[in-house]
Amino acid sequence: MFGKIMFYFVKDNKLEIQFENGKGFIEVIKDDIINVFSPLKYEDHFSRAIEGLKIVKTDFHVNYNNDCLILKTDKLIVKIHDDFKVDFFDKDGKILCEDYREDRKPFIRRGNGKIAEGEGIKIEENFRKYKIEIVKKMQGDEYFYGLGEKTGYLNKRGYYYEMWNTDDPRPHVESYVSLYKSIPFFITLRENASFGIFFDNTFKTYFDMGKENGSYYYFAADDGNLDYYFINGPKVTDVVEGYTYLTGKTPLPQLWTLGYQQSRWSYSPKERVLEIAKTFREKDIPCDVIHLDIDYMDGYRVFTWDKVAFSNHKEMIKELKNMGFKVVTIIDPGVKKDKGYFVYEEGLKNGYFATDKDGIPYVNEVWPGEALYPDFSDESVRRWWAEKQKIMLQDGVAGIWNDMNEPASFKGPLPEDVQFKNDGRPTNHLEIHNVYGHLMSKATYEGIKDYTNKRPFVITRACYAGTQKYSTVWTGDNHSFWEHLRMAVPMLLNLGLSGIAFCGTDVGGFQFDATGELLSRWVQLGCFTPLFRNHSCIHTRDQEPWAFDEKTEEINRKYIKLRYKLLPYVYDLMYQCELTGLPLMRPLFLHYQDDKNTYELNDEFLFGENILVAPILEQGKNIRAVYLPEGTWIDYWTKEEYEGGKYILKEAPLDICPIFIKKGSIIPNFEEQNYVGQKKMNKLILDIYPGDGAYYHYKDDGESFEYKEGKYNLYKISMRLKDTLEINIEKEHEGYDDYEELELIVNNYNGNVVVNSKQYKLNQGVIKLQKEILTKK
């Protein structure tokens, strides 16, 4: 396609290459991040995922040798050949990733098995050539991860996927190649190496991870520019940090957003909402948020309230606030076509809606009937939509839930030629579809931030790479199936590896009917998912924590209370996430990359680096094998110690989710509370698992942006176990209120009980505990 290299030159951080049939660029973003670009559609480099990219001044060298260009940084060697074939090597010359030099050869499907020439042989059904395709040679030892929200298992080798945001309410199974989110990024793990590739293209894209042919894998697109980033490891943690360096890191959320949330389609009328809230408090089950689905609106008109079902809704929100509840309301993009309706009239007057090719506003159908779609690709429309958020915020709403923003439509998909302004680069639906929800989330985030000056809480169903800067996500319309519970673990882990750290599922399942056992096991997983929300569909059986029987209710209470106990640890993980991009839910290989036993664990995960969770994901199961990586691990419930590097069998009756804490860990806890802010947390409780280790604990006001101005505390808590257990707490940064007291809980297997619980002063220096109380008896 490109032909031979004709000449090249270097300017600043870019290598520009002129080929016979076009030009290409190799841009050094950092010494371990390289951009490969060719302006096949647009001359300039335009990205919806990457904003305000900082290019690091990097020394690199370029020379021409043996018919190829060789670019070297301190960490990478890049070889560029004719036809813009690009190969990547580590600094020592080990091949990491190279372009495939032969034609693609798909699997043959023989059908009835005839072998006569031309008979019974069928080419792979989805084999096609793409306008843009990058084919990479399979080295043989690859494991693939990431690609956002996809069905199937953790390792994506041998699978094929498409990036095209899709609302499909049928049960999602492994054959689904696309769901609600498009994140064209994957991580390759090889022996002693790892790297990531981010294909920044918003058109429909395709990822074949060796399904078509085991000799290669490829990524491709229908249109756009050739534009991808190579992100070197060698650690997977380096790759995640590099990818989020490009696309942005999940910002620290308000503390209450990490509590338990209850939702249903729909809690209506307001008396039902208040009944739900009062029942939580009466039954001593913590909860911070109640979500309102589409039936709170007046005829599904966005930014309105049903005047009958939610008469005097401001008083309802005030009453809920007095009980400690926040209200989050759903907002869809579809604006009802309705003369006199203010949102419709404003959008029509100002040309804020997407149009057909003749400039006439495009109309499809969603919940309110005939509806129009705001053109979020245009900055003026985003500003308008941002301003509309204050309608809900003035009423007391605390967060916004964006749904149906793939965009979904009831009368067939939006035609390819629906027109969008695209911030001065007019285009059609093919280019905007995958970023429609991303841009809606951005507008929503900015509107909430401008009005409240607090960290916005936005939840979205559809997204693109980089949406983590603006919104949390959930995995869409799952079902109350055990298979969907099982699938939740690898799906959330891959979302986290893809930059979307603040994510969750509909706990209990959205469609179909949950059982008490399924809800019990799902809430045990939900306790350790960043977004912890129970949500169910209209006409399904009730799914609140108390909806089944006393045993199910007690299990829900137990794990929801455990989540609130662990809130300071969860908040610390979110703080770390803003710094490093590392997710809260982590596959074991993220921290045990040299242990191949961790590469395909689909049913257990790390919560941070200190807690290992191995949930029960099958009906009727009450014992399971748990793989513990190297080190010593302590059963959270019994305090029994296990040496890692092997599988153990763990009994897990219905009320037990297997949880293990790594020896040497320090886990901050909160006192019991029914909602965030119920009381001031003046006591720092440290749950200690004796050994050598250190932990950083973070504290701020939990809601404002003042932490960015230094108004926070950062504590370094060190622990050393020799003749005594020595614990030292130092402030590495001081800018916020201190704790008034400190409580240490030292765990040991000694009659299955805590052997030391004592209160101390926070500033008393090194605390020494006698070793006798730590000895196993």
Residues involved in catalysis: 403, 406, 477
Q: Give the span between the Cα atoms of 629 and 620, in whole angstroms.
A: 27
Token pair recorded at residue 551 = 């045993």
Residue type, 56: V
Measured between alpha carbons, how far is 524 from 556 in angstroms, rounded to an integer?
Answer: 8
Q: Cβ neighbours of residue 309 under 8 Å, at least 6 residues apart?
A: 268, 269, 270, 295, 296
Please state the length of the chain.
Answer: 777
CA distance 697 to 529: 20
Between CA 290 and CA 267 the distance in angstroms is 9
Query: Alpha carbon of 4 to those of 7, 20, 23: distances in Å?
Result: 9, 6, 11
- Rounded Cα gap, residues 11 and 27, in angstroms: 10
**Rg of the chain's alpha carbons, rounded to an integer?**
27
Per DSSP, what are the bridge partners of residue 635? 660
DSSP string, 315-343: HHHHHHHHTT-EEEEEE-SPEE--TT-HH
To the nearest 10°, the Cα dihedral for 518, 519, 522, 524?
A: -120
Nearest to 135 by CA among 38, 200, 217, 226: 217
Asked if omega into 368 is within 30° of 0 (cis), the reply is no
- How many Å separate Cα 505 from the centre of its chain? 11
DSSP letters along 457-468, please? -EEESSEETTGG
Please, which residues bridge with residue 744 across strands? Answer: 686, 758
Structure tokens at 341: 């309706």
8 Å CB contact between 256 and 288? yes
* Cα 140 from Cα 236, distance rounded (Å): 18
Look up residue 483 and give its two tokens. 């298979």
- 242 alpha carbon, distance to own chain's centre: 16
The 8-class DSSP code of residue 113 comes to -
